[in-house]
A and B are shown apart, each in its own frame.
Chain A
């Protein structure tokens, strides 16, 4: 039987690690360099700004640019996508005495919630599992929240560098020294075009990797510094849409069951969410674990199928789709965490570190909290007499994280995700026992298996996907359009993968990709990289996503 792991991508960590090479007058020196303007990176920048406000002598020592944030998207938020129901705990703490929750761009608190078990025609309301209860939480568009956080970071004195990809990790003498940004203006075969601009070395005292799910340099750093933990990381793929609707939705809805199949052999773990966004919009999405096996499974098309269910169709009636996007979610949780989240001169935060609570469907507050704690550790290491690049100088971050609510939460639910590898019903029962014992059951931790190690099977699943009508259901290219993606077509390919593969694997990629990047051919697979919305699914299933030219990809605004 074919499995993706048998056809590894020709990717070498060494190609993405370099020593600083720009002459001193050309390189850019910054104090703390944060890679990624998401909730973790921006929280880190905001907290650093707060700390430096009261420490002018340290600010001075950090030079002209004390804090810089690299962002590969057009602007902060362009590549942010989540459900999202946000636990406000970490935001409250970050902005204590400075901003109130009602000043933040939320769509309001969760007032009612329902969980349904779906079959093709019916919906059975079930009690919400304790981990999924959302009282006191707020609905948000993460893209919008990200834009707001970026404004706060700017006010706090951080410099945002958008449209800039972090391509290589700069390492010298075994210490992280910053990153090298990607070139711009190369053609399909890598040749420089008329608008060619080479990347440059951004040299920093502390580098914070806040790249989010499937972080490119995070993967490189885990490998380079030997930080990987015992279990591999595993992911889910989420695809979502934002709709303008006629009638307001008065609650958050989660569904389990259909259109996924419960049988253990399919390994289809996931469900859907439907959240209100004010009076005239809602968002809905489908999330499926990438350990699934069926080459015909397509999360994009499962979401289209879900919309034909009477429960969902009714909510969307007379409405109009206004946005679409896709992204992976790290699902390994506690068991898949790296051994440590720091190396000399380096910190790893947020989704990139794997700080996501799958049973609670939450990670944004962990991202913010980890960013805040990273800022405090970085700041401590910059005190007079300290050097962040000394081994162990940043260990305070790991210690603080272990003491935080993030660690306690993740530890309690650590075995739930692997339990669902045994099918929906058994998994559900085991998860119940884990909740009741606050994580003391089972005594021996379960193991995670790489998503790319799942043997492929092929059913005729695709036959039941609805044909797109352009109103309720859509084809993938229309979806890519709705993501705002208008990537330059003649860019060099940023997706590293084996091109000559068996038909099964080529088809798996073709169906899996929500943005129609892959096409199975007679000899393997063709790639259309400009469609890519950088969801990262390919990295989970046997390829490797690297960042394309800065400014490419989707331009999310409402996701």
Chain B
């Protein structure tokens, strides 16, 4: 088996999601694992990938690849796959990679399995695990031909460092005519203070139990003290207490911070699916029967208006001492 992992970057950093997929690929064994970085001025990013298990990193560095558009990336990877005989190509899901993976499948006439949460070797065959029926069951999926393409749900794997270094190889960039038909007009990102909720190591989230929008300051202060981001439930976003960009859950963002503190959140399944892979979940809620306590590592039965300010105070004290 010869595996290629697409390493997506933002600015001068490789994304955690792609590195997680790389780390996973390295544990599968049974062959070489390579990464590919595509962009402009990205050569320096390649070295870092060795720590996460890549034996080799291909670099396609060209000014034409500056904009994060899918078709030029399909050109680069399709060519690489044809030239090297790579048989398995893996992607961590994002807006960009979903397009790249789909385009690549069409270009190579390859089978694609998407929304996978795991990949294992069973009897010498690669088997993907795909949640179905609203994540209530896992379906085994496979490929009947090569090359195989897989797209993993974001946050499926931790980017574990294993040490090691990668050999870096430049690849030639030749784009198809039609690949330059799209151009990037503008790229903008929402301005916000502190880390974004997708990347934050700590998230403090608020729900209806806060009682009103003004009480979100309690959540904000705790998040600030912990160096984390603020999240919100659908109910409070719906009620207009907090912006949609912070919504965690089925119709919001899926997050997996090291620490998730849920303040006044009952823990409906729609919220749970967006944060259940968090490292440690702490719930503060005055309702003993709230479902959130069933999947929290630490539960505090109490009034958020009393508990949260005290917690903020303690964190501040600890930090300053």
In chain A, positions 484-526 with a C-beta closer than 8 Å to chain B are 484, 486-490
Cβ contact within 8 Å between A322 and B268:
no
In chain A, positions 322-369 with a C-beta closer than 8 Å to chain B are 322-323
B133 touches A477 (CB 8 A): no
Shortest CB-to-CB span from B285 to chain A, Å, is: 15
The answer to whether A489 touches B247, judged by C-beta atoms less than 8 angstroms apart, is yes
* Chain A neighbourhood of B140, CB < 8 A: none
| A383 CB, min distance to chain B CBs, angstroms | 44
A322 touches B133 (CB 8 A): yes
Name the CB-closest residue of A to B270: A481
Q: Does B314 contact A (CB under 8 A)?
A: no
Is there an interface contact between B269 and A490, defined as CB atoms closer than 8 Å? Answer: no
Q: Are B137 and A489 in contact (CB under 8 A)?
A: no
- Inter-chain contacts of B291 with A (CB < 8 A): 470, 475
Interface assignment of A122: CB less than 8 Å from any CB of chain B: no
Interface size on B, residues (CB 8 A): 19
Chain A residues, Cβ within 8 Å of B294 = 470
Given contacts A322-B136, A477-B270, A489 and B251 within 8 Å (CB-CB): yes
Given known A489-B237, A490-B244, contact A530–B136 (CB-CB < 8 A): no
Q: A477, B269: Cβ atoms under 8 Å?
A: yes
CB contacts (< 8 Å) of B169 on chain A: these are none
Closest to B239 in A: A526
Identify which of residues 284-302 in chain B touch chain A, using a CB-to-CB cut-off of 8 Å: 289, 291, 294
Chain B: which residue is nearest A527 at the CB level? B238
A5 at the interface (CB under 8 A from B): no
Chain B contacts with A in 239-286, Cβ cutoff 8 A: 244, 247, 250-252, 268-270, 273
User: Within 8 Å CB of A487, what residues of B?
Assistant: 251
Q: Which residue of chain A is the closest to B240 with respect to CB atoms?
A: A188
Contact of A481 among B237, B250, B252 (CB under 8 A): B250
Assess whether A320 is interfacial by the CB under 8 Å rule.
yes
A177 to B76, CA, bound (A): 50
B133 & A478 in contact (Cβ 8 Å cutoff):
no
Given contacts A488-B251, A489-B237, A489-B244, contact A482 B270 (CB under 8 A): no
Which of A360-408 touch B at CB < 8 Å? none
Does A13 have its Cβ within 8 Å of any Cβ on chain B?
no
Complex alpha-carbon distance, A482 and B273, angstroms: 12
B134 contacts partner chain A, Cβ-Cβ < 8 Å: yes
Which A436-494 residues have C-beta < 8 A from chain B? 467, 470, 475, 477-478, 480-482, 484, 486-490
Q: In the complex, which residues of chain A have a beta carbon less than 8 angstroms from the beta carbon of B269?
A: 477-478, 481
Asked whether A478 lies within 8 Å of B244 as measured between CB atoms, the reply is no
A489 to B232 CA separation, bound complex (whole angstroms): 14
Give the distance in Å from the alpha carbon of A321 to the alpha carbon of B238 in the complex: 28
Q: Which residue of A lies closest to B247 (CB)?
A: A489
* Pair B136/A320 contact, Cβ less than 8 Å: yes
A478, B268: Cβ atoms under 8 Å? yes
| Bound complex: CA A470 to CA B244 (Å) | 28
Q: Do A484 and B238 touch across chains, with their CB atoms under 8 A apart?
A: no
A398 to B128, CA, bound (A): 53
Chain A neighbourhood of B268, CB < 8 A: 475, 477-478, 481
Query: Nearest chain-B residue to A477 (Cβ)?
Result: B268
B153 at the interface (CB under 8 A from A): no
Chain A-chain B contacts (Cβ-Cβ < 8 Å), number = 46
CA of A435 to CA of B79 in the docked complex: distance in angstroms?
Answer: 74
Q: In the bound complex, do residue A557 and residue B250 qualify as a contact, i.e. CB atoms below 8 Å apart?
A: no
Residues of the B chain whose Cβ atoms lie less than 8 Å from the Cβ of A475:
268, 291
> Which chain A residues lie closer than 8 Å to B289 at the CB level?
467
CB of A528 closer than 8 Å to a CB of B: yes
Residue on B nearest A476 in the bound complex, by CB: B268
Chain A hits for B250, CB < 8 A: 481, 486
Interchain CB contact under 8 A, A557 and B133: yes
Flag if A530 contacts B251 (CB, 8 Å).
yes
CB-based contact B247/A322 at 8 Å: no
Q: How far is the CB of A169 from chain B (nearest CB, A)?
A: 31
A53 to B273, CA, bound (A): 49
Name the residue of chain B whose CB is nearest to the CB of A479.
B269
- The residues of A that contact B251 with a CB separation of less than 8 Å are 486-489, 530
By a CB distance below 8 angstroms, the chain A residues around B24 are none
User: How many angstroms from the CA of A557 to the CA of B250 in the assembled complex?
Assistant: 19
B244 contact set on A, CB distance < 8 A: 489-490
Nearest to A320 among chain B residues (CB) is B136
Asked whether B148 is an interface residue with its Cβ less than 8 Å from the other chain, the reply is no
A323 touches which of B133, B247, B273 (Cβ 8 Å):
B133
**Chain B residues, Cβ within 8 Å of A480:** 270
With a cutoff of 8 Å between Cβ atoms, the chain A residues found around residue B134 in the complex are: 481-482, 484
Q: Specify which chain A residues have a CB less than 8 angstroms from the CB of B270 in the assembled complex.
A: 477, 480-481
Measured CA separation A557–B237 after assembly (Å): 30
Q: Inside 8 A of B136's CB, which chain A residues have their CB? A: 320-322, 482
Binary A-proximity of B221-240 (CB < 8 A = 1, otherwise 0): 00000000000001001100
Residues on the B chain within 8 Å of A490, using CB: 244
Smallest CB separation, B160 vs chain A (Å): 31
Contact across chains for A489 and B133 when beta carbons are under 8 A apart: no
B201–chain A nearest beta-carbon distance, Å: 27
Residue of A322, A478, A480, A481 ringed by the most chain B CB atoms within 10 A? A481
In the assembled complex, which residues on chain A have CB atoms less than 8 Å from the CB atom of B238?
489, 528, 530
Q: A445–B136 Cα gap in the complex (Å)?
A: 49
- Residues of chain B contacted by A481 (CB below 8 angstroms): 134, 250, 268-270, 273
Bound: A486/B270 CA distance, A: 9
Shortest Cβ distance from B237 into A: residue:
A489
- A488 / chain B contacts, CB cutoff of 8 Å: 251
- List the A residue with the shortest CB-CB distance to B135: A481
- Which residues between 47 and 99 of chain A lie within 8 Å of chain B, taking CB atoms? none
Cα A320 to Cα B136 with chains together (Å): 9
Shortest CB-to-CB span from A235 to chain B, Å, is: 27
**Residue in A closest to B291 when the chains form the complex, CB atoms:** A470
Q: Which of B63-111 contact A (CB under 8 A)?
A: none
Residues of A within 8 A of B273 (CB): 481
Min CB gap A428→B, angstroms: 38
Bound-complex Cα distance A162 to B294 (A): 39
Residue of A nearest to B252 (CB): A489
Chain A proximity of B237: nearest CB distance (Å)? 7
- Interchain CA distance A488-B289 in the complex, whole Å: 29
Could you say which residues of chain B place their CB within 8 Å of the CB of A486? Answer: 250-251
Rounded to whole angstroms, the CA-CA distance of A467 and B268 in the bound complex is 14
**Measured CA separation A489–B245 after assembly (Å):** 12
Which residues of B sit under 8 angstroms from A489, Cβ to Cβ? 234, 237-238, 244, 247, 251-252
Residues of B within 8 A of A322 (CB): 133, 136-137
**Closest approach, in angstroms, between the C-beta of B138 and any C-beta of chain A?**
12
Closest to A323 in B: B133
Closest to A468 in B: B291
Q: Give the distance in Å from the alpha carbon of A320 to the alpha carbon of B250 in the complex.
A: 21
Bound together, the chains give a CA A477 to CA B252 distance in angstroms of 16
Return B274 CB to nearest CB of chain A, in Å.
Answer: 11
CB distance from A339 to the nearest CB of B (A): 43
Interface string of A244-272 (1 = CB under 8 A from B): 10000000000000000000000000000
- List, sorted by A's number, 8 A–B pairs whose CB atoms are closer than 8 Å: A244-B137, A467-B289, A470-B294, A477-B270, A481-B269, A482-B136, A484-B133, A489-B251
Contacts A470-B294, A490-B244, A558-B133 known; 11 new A-B pairs at CB < 8 A: A320-B136, A477-B269, A482-B134, A482-B136, A486-B251, A488-B251, A489-B234, A489-B237, A489-B252, A528-B238, A530-B251
Going nearest first, the 5 A-B pairs with the smallest beta carbon separation are A477-B268, A481-B269, A478-B269, A489-B251, A322-B133
